[in-house]
Structure 1
Amino acid sequence: MSDFKRGLRASTPVLIGLVPAALVLGAQATTKGIAPLAVPLMTGLNFAGGSEFAAIELWTSPPHLVLIAGVTLLINSRHLVMSAALAPWLRHLPRRQALPALFLMVDESWAMALADAKARGERMSARAFSMSYFLGLSAALYASWVAFSALGALIGPVLGDIQRWGLDMAFPAVFLALLRGMWKGLGAAMPWLVSLAVAAGTCLIVPGAWYVPAGALAGILTAWIMVRL
């Protein structure tokens, strides 16, 4: 089996959680007044579910574009750390291959490709990272996310509030499963825990979606302090 097909196959369990989340995203977008055709444009250009959910939560008419752009930047800033973690595994690849491929990097493909590279690294001293495996993962996730978010935008008004079915829990469930596989102890998880506590507290005290930038900033600040100590 080729590495690309292996990546496609490995993506199947993740799609079980990703597809319902994409449907919810598309349905929520239309309730905020976003045109159905604009939904796949958004998910295709900004392939990052967390920031897309936050953008829709903050969406008004007219939209506060500076606030939405700022929150999106904060949430997606974790990709800087994620890509830095992949850098040692990509050094053998020319930049013309590595940089465009990183456009498709999301939490799921990053975690699974990194785990695969580490497993292969136990048997291979060099070139453990399989770009074909990464692209197989990413192709399935990207196509499904864009397609099913568009479908959610189209059928959302017909189905009504699909959150009552609990489908909105699929996205955090996938994320928690990935975190479990990446657990390195309480110390390494401290920025995540601080971010969670600050976001939850802000959500209870401050109206609106300010818990998103509050949690993101708290996590980034905690990670910076830990590095400096």
Structure 2
Amino acid sequence: MTIIQAPALAANAGATTGSEFRRGIAACMPVLLGIVPYGLVLGAQAARKSLSGLEVPLMTGLNFAGGSEFAAIQLWSSPPHILLIVFVTLLVNSRHLLMGAALAPYLRHLSKRKAFASLFFMCDESWAMSLADSKERAATGTSLPAFSLPYYMGASLAVYVAWVAFTTAGALLGPVMGDIDALGFDMAFPAVFLVLMRGMWTTAAAARPWLVSLVVAAVTHLVLPGAWFIAAGAASGLAAAYYLAGDA
């Protein structure tokens, strides 16, 4: 039994767009509890780097990728090293190539317009939940498409709104809250990913890229300052996934 499971499926002829959308929102509620603290942490860290209450929601709303945003804030300086930040952002977000490829077989019934528009809102949480939901729906053998776009959008938009709202709140309240890292809120970010990873666990062999990424990131963090450990972990994990794909 995994930690992340889709709730009772609404995969029947009576399921409406509205009910599927609400099912997606309801399914991601536990995840939102984790998003609140690390959204506040990112916003507060951005405020300490002199980003305003307007610049933070622009960053989190247009990029919508927490890992790369944490990396960008760690690398932020005055003046900022734009090319370095762009490179690290592309590297950290490159995992979305594999995530999109895993979801692609379930999107074939959608038009390109709908598929591409919806993928803007894809994040680790909504991707993991929708992939698990699609696999469960496919296993039931129903005639309905395995991928429920309203369910996906319900989960994705709930995460998106929460992320933008609480990073903005963190930026506005950061000076008042002080050093919220000292309260342990920054642990919420890796905690959510550990839960997602456990939910996607299949076999130990398939988890080898995670182990490679973890070891490389930990070693890089010990020997190099700044946020290079995020980029190193992402690159090594992608490389390991590519070379070990045939053995998993």
- Counterpart in the other structure of 1:31: 48
- Counterpart in the other structure of 1:205: 223
Distance in 2 separating the partners of 1:103 and 1:149: 19
Distance in 1 separating the partners of 2:97 and 2:35: 23
**Among residues 107, 110, 116, which one is paired with 2:133 in the alignment?**
116
- Could you tell me how far 1:131 is from its partner in structure 2? 0.1
- Counterpart in the other structure of 1:146: 164
Distance in 2 separating the partners of 1:170 and 1:99: 30
Kindly provide the amino acid, as one letter, of the partner of residue 224 in structure 2.
Answer: V
Distance in 2 separating the partners of 1:53 and 1:45: 14
User: 2:60 aligned with 1:43, yes or no?
Assistant: yes
Distance in 2 separating the partners of 1:69 and 1:59: 11
Aligned length: 229
- Could you tell me how far 1:224 is from its partner in structure 2? 2.1
Distance in 1 separating the partners of 2:36 and 2:209: 28
Gaps of 5+ in 2: 1-17
- Could you tell me how far 1:218 is from its partner in structure 2? 1.3
- Could you tell me how far 1:227 is from its partner in structure 2? 3.3
Distance in 1 separating the partners of 2:108 and 2:35: 30
Distance in 1 separating the partners of 2:225 and 2:170: 27
> Would you identify which runs of 4 or more consecutive aligned residues in structure 1 move more than 4 Å?
none
- Could you tell me how far 1:202 is from its partner in structure 2? 1.0
User: 2:120 aligned with 1:103, yes or no?
Assistant: yes
Q: Deviations over 1:8-30 (max 9, x none)?
A: 11111000000111111100001
Distance in 2 separating the partners of 1:125 and 1:5: 21
Q: CA RMSD in A?
A: 1.3
**Among residues 23, 41, 53, which one is paired with 1:6 in the alignment?**
23
Kindly provide the amino acid, as one letter, of the partner of residue 88 in structure 1.
Answer: P
Q: Secondary structure at the match of 1:168?
A: helix
Query: Do the aligned partners of 2:41 and 2:170 also contact (CA within 8 Å) in 1?
Result: yes
Gaps of 5+ in 1: none
Distance in 1 separating the partners of 2:235 and 2:108: 30
- Could you tell me how far 1:35 is from its partner in structure 2? 1.8
Distance in 1 separating the partners of 2:210 and 2:196: 13
Identity score, percent: 61
Q: Secondary structure at the match of 1:2?
A: helix
Distance in 2 separating the partners of 1:193 and 1:213: 15
Q: Deviations over 1:145-175 (max 9, x none)?
A: 0011101100001111011111111111111
Q: Secondary structure at the match of 1:183?
A: coil
Distance in 2 separating the partners of 1:175 and 1:224: 21
**Among residues 230, 236, 245, which one is paired with 1:218 in the alignment?**
236
- Counterpart in the other structure of 2:197: 179
| TM-score relative to the length of structure 1 | 0.96
**Among residues 110, 130, 134, which one is paired with 2:148 in the alignment?**
130
User: 2:179 aligned with 1:161, yes or no?
Assistant: yes
Query: Do the aligned partners of 2:95 and 2:234 also contact (CA within 8 Å) in 1?
Result: no
Distance in 2 separating the partners of 1:206 and 1:163: 21
Distance in 2 separating the partners of 1:41 and 1:174: 23
* Range with bigger deviation, 147-156 or 211-220: 211-220
Kindly provide the amino acid, as one letter, of the partner of residue 2 in structure 1.
Answer: S
User: 2:81 aligned with 1:74, yes or no?
Assistant: no
Kindly provide the amino acid, as one letter, of the partner of residue 85 in structure 1.
Answer: A
